[in-house]
A and B are shown apart, each in its own frame.
Chain A
Amino acid sequence: MITITQQRLKCIGCNYCVEVAPHRWQMSKKDGRSQLIDSRERRGFWSVQVSEEEREINEKAAKLCPVKIIQLRG
């Protein structure tokens, strides 16, 4: 398992994570920031545990993020 974390409030809504990993990320129509699907928030960090097979596309999302708020652990 790997843990994906997002510092959501720093998101600028560029949409890149959604472009590369649409099953894990979606744009919120409410505040224009991306949402980490199935994640839970703790002190400004949204995180979710996912299976190994999601590693590659989410690493790509993390790499593409212009404000570097996506992290993968594990």
Chain B
Amino acid sequence: MRRKIVLFIIITICFLLQCTVFQSLSFAGIAPNLLIIVVSAFGLMRGKKEGLLVGFFCGLLVDIFFGFYLGVYALLYMYVGYINGLLQKRFFPDDIKLPMIMIGVSDIACNLLVYFFMFLFRGRFHFLYYLKSVIFPEFVYTMVITIFLYFILLKVNQWLEKHEKRRAKKFDV
């Protein structure tokens, strides 16, 4: 229960920051993607199931407030969470390399898919332009934010896990 509430708060804060504060802090019209950091990080730290659930709810939020059709981003983020969850066994909390790489890869993959389905199909063929002016800047900005946000998420998760372990022990005795 505690985990659910904390997750809800994290998702809410990141979503609100992303669509209000970071939109005004954007460089050259590019804002970072906080939600992908949350989805990817929880996939890595907690595995497939939590990854896909966090992804689903993050995507649903984006769909409700900004999407064309309900379910596009929910589907996309859910798979991002799931695929990141597959790598949980290789995840060690002290090592920031894997999360950095995976968050970066997730961000680029998401944007490529969005470009492919929503831009290429409508005849916007200047892929290099979009790569240069949207995908790459967003990747860089997201990476910078990851350095801060990832450690916050990691600490929150460790705090949650500590409490969960304590509770489990109580039941055992």
Whether both chains belong to one complex is answered with no
